Amino acid sequence: MQARGLLNGCALILLFIIQTATGDTRCIQKGGKCQENSIPCDNYQSGLCNGGRTRQCCISNQVADKRCMDKGGKCQQTSVSCSGAYRSGLCGGSASRKCCVPQSVFIISILASSGKLCTDANFQTVGRVVFGEARGETARGQLAVAYSIVNRINHSGYPNTLNAVVNQKTAGGAYQYETLGVAAHTKAWNVTKKGNTQEYKNAIKASSDALCGRVSDPTTCATDYCAYDPCSATNSNKYWTATNKIPIGRHYFVCRVKASG
């Protein structure tokens, strides 16, 4: 009986070890290690480890910075001078720690991205968004909306393809670019497209300028915007910190960086 009890005890311990290891897989796949969050660590992420709430995934800056390094950049504090351009969402650590991409690498990256995005089909897709979201806006205002799509593609918090970004929906099932779900806007777009009106041409120009990199981004890095401020799109939350807020036309645009802590 004692031997059987010992075997049962060993089996339970083995099962616990297997469950813990299996539950830690998502953390391990990210290059992290599950441990108690009382232990010093560069970056902790929750929801990736088995066990209690205090057991979290520790990811070192070296691992978290890989996305930046893959783009030829270097993670550093934004107070440090950058010879190129800072990009958000690619580094571990605090919100003020961003990826500095050298100018030569940044230009090559933009050109490479433009080669993929600079197509007639994409002009139509983004043009529909620009028409619905910024119809009647200045060229700069329409360009800013078009660039929000490009910036989302290059941001870790959003899908990495144009169609996925444009068609992304909220938890409630609505389009994030709200006017895509409004039948009246779709009808108006089809009419103006058929008539090749100036409104249609303006939307297509803003889209092509952004997708082909012909005109620089007036927001620098904005992924979100709202017709009023504050709103959920321009506010910070526990996941993202809103930065670089700028009013353009009838909208307030913000960039987003990963929240610290």
Residue 88 phi, psi dihedral angles, 5° rounding = -90, 160
Last residue of some domain: 51, 81, 114?
114
Q: Answer yes or no: do 49 and 150 share one domain.
A: no
Mapping DSSP onto H, E and C, the string for the chain reads: CHHHHHHHHHHHHHHHHHHHHHHCHHHHHCCCEEEECCCCCCEEECCCCCCCCCEEEEECHHHHCHHHHHCCCEEEECCCCCCCEEECCCCCCCCCEEEEECHHHHHHHHHHHHHHHCCHHHHHHHHHHHHHHHCCCCHHHHHHHHHHHHHHHCCCCCCCCHHHHHCCECCCCCECCHHHHCHHHHHHHHHHHHCCCHHHHHHHHHHHHHHCCCCCCCCCCCCEEECCCCCCCCCCCCCEEEEEEEEECCEEEEEEEECCC
pLDDT one-digit tens code per residue, 16-61:
455 455 678 888 888 889 999 999 998 888 888 988 889 999 988 8
Q: What is the pLDDT of residues 99-154, one digit of tens each?
A: 887 654 555 455 545 568 999 999 999 999 999 999 999 999 999 999 999 999 98
Residues 102 and 144 in one domain: no
Q: Is residue 33 part of a domain?
A: yes
Does 88 share its domain with 165?
no
- Evaluate the CA torsion angle 133, 137, 139, 144 in order and state its sign: negative
- Report the predicted TM-score, pTM, of the whole model to 2 decimal places: 0.60
pLDDT digits (tens, 9 = 90+) for 220-254: 889 999 999 889 889 998 888 998 899 999 999 99
Domain assignment of residue 222, yes or no = yes
Indicate whether 211 belongs to any domain.
Answer: yes
In a domain, 2, yes or no: no
pLDDT, position 2 = 53
71 and 107 share a domain?
Answer: yes
Q: Which of 114, 149, 175 is the last residue of a domain?
A: 114
Q: What is the pLDDT of residues 152-183, one digit of tens each?
A: 998 888 998 999 999 999 999 999 999 999 99
The boundaries of the domain holding residue 32 are 24-64
What number is the average pLDDT over the span 4-21? Answer: 52
The answer to whether residues 162 and 214 belong to one domain is yes
CATH assignment of the domain containing 207: 1.10.10.2520
How would residue 9 be classed by pLDDT, with cut points 50, 70 and 90? low
Same domain, 251 and 129: yes
Structural domain includes residue 205: yes
The residue among 55, 82, 114 that closes a domain is 114
Same domain, 125 and 247: yes
Domain tally, the chain: 3
Structure tokens at 141: 């205002």
pLDDT at 144: 96
